[in-house]
Amino acid sequence: MNPLERYAPLVDDEEAFLAACDRPLPSVVRVNGIKATAERARSALDAEGVGYEVTDWHPGILKMDERGPGTTWPYFHGWLHGQEEVSALPALALDPDPGDVVWDACAAPGSKTTQLADLMDDRGILIGNDNNLGRLSALRHNAERLGVSNLVVTNQDARNYSLKPFGEGIDDSAAIDAFDRALVDAPCSCEGTIRKNPDALDRWTMDHVHSVAGIQKGILRRAVQATRPGGTVVYSTCTFAPEENEAVLDHAVEEEDCELVGWDAPENFETVPGVTEWDGEEYDSSVELAHRVYPHHNDTGGFFCAKLEVTA
């Protein structure tokens, strides 16, 4: 059975949904504002005769006509970074300010992390963590190529992340006791990436969904605990499974001091609300504030993104 068929009851147009999941995705790049403006990057691509189309919802996110961007001058200069279109959402939702202390719990290989650095104007402290040491080298390579200098890279299990290396609790003006914002772009069953990676669902099982959901709950809970009251946590996945999305939010709202808050998706980018019922389970009604992204709505991958505020 195609696991995607289980989501038919959730989508408005099953046929369009399944057809979109079958189509390959175009190559998409994000302009890196640390090194160039969208205007300069586009002008440089024009000068090289590289075809692209500006997405109708973000001037710095470009769909390339054919070849990947790797063999162009603007890419070599670190003005561009290959990043799937829909994966630009969580950093925009988190909306960090220059000077914030931001935690990216599952950072490698770093597309969203470097986008966060860009939104922070490369100021403040951005802590990119990943539990996989091998993937950290990709994170570091990407960050340095894009000229990011406000990133600290750590290698811990996000579920019991320790702030001790940052001087938690000690009397030092440089010590960090809590984050202002945290992004949990959780490891997931990756159903939404089927258009980029047709093998994504080969090893899909319900057991796997339940097992990653446990990890997701652990990471999201730790993110809420480590973020100051009034701070923001964004939770995202590239899967459609409510077990990994709304159920995880429901668990966090129940167990930790936090609540879902509304967030407007970018203009011209269509999303639908989170679901409050699935497979005999009922979730907290506030999970409707989350955003579901289906491939046939914006011709992107599938995605899920929710914003939480930490309460006292």
Active site amino acids: 238
Structure tokens at 11: 């989508």
Residue 7 β-bridge partners: none
Residue spans of beta strands (DSSP E) within 135-201:
151-154, 179-185
**Alpha carbon distance 220, 208 (integer Å):** 18
Shortest CB 102 distance to other proteins, Å: 11
109 is in an annotated binding site: yes
**Alpha carbon distance 238, 257 (integer Å):** 25
How does DSSP classify residue 46? H
User: Do the beta carbons of residue 195 and residue 21 sit within 8 Å?
Assistant: yes
Nearer to other proteins, 77 or 228 (CB): 77
130 is in an annotated binding site: yes
The single residue listed with the structure tokens 């046939």 is 296
Shortest CB 307 distance to other proteins, Å: 25
Which element (helix H / strand E) includes 174? none
Sign of the C-alpha dihedral, residues 248, 253, 258, 264?
Answer: positive
User: Do the beta carbons of residue 263 and residue 276 sit within 8 Å?
Assistant: no
**Alpha carbon distance 291, 305 (integer Å):** 5
Nearer to other proteins, 42 or 251 (CB): 42
User: Do the beta carbons of residue 136 and residue 155 sit within 8 Å?
Assistant: yes
285 is in an annotated binding site: no
Nearer to other proteins, 125 or 293 (CB): 125
Provide the terminal-to-terminal Cα distance of the chain, rounded to the nearest Å.
46
Shortest CB 173 distance to other proteins, Å: 4
Nearer to other proteins, 108 or 247 (CB): 108
Shortest CB 232 distance to other proteins, Å: 19
Taking Cα atoms as reference points, which of 37, 45, 39 lies closest to residue 69?
A: 45
Nearer to other proteins, 30 or 217 (CB): 30
108 is in an annotated binding site: yes
Shortest CB 174 distance to other proteins, Å: 4
Residues engaged in binding other proteins (CB under 8 A): 34-35, 40, 43-44, 47, 70-73, 76-78, 122-125, 136, 140-141, 143-145, 147-155, 165-167, 170, 172-176
107 is in an annotated binding site: yes
305 is in an annotated binding site: no
Which positions make up the binding site?
Answer: 106-112, 130, 157, 185
Residues annotated in the binding site for S-adenosyl-L-methionine, as ranges? 106-112, 130, 157, 185
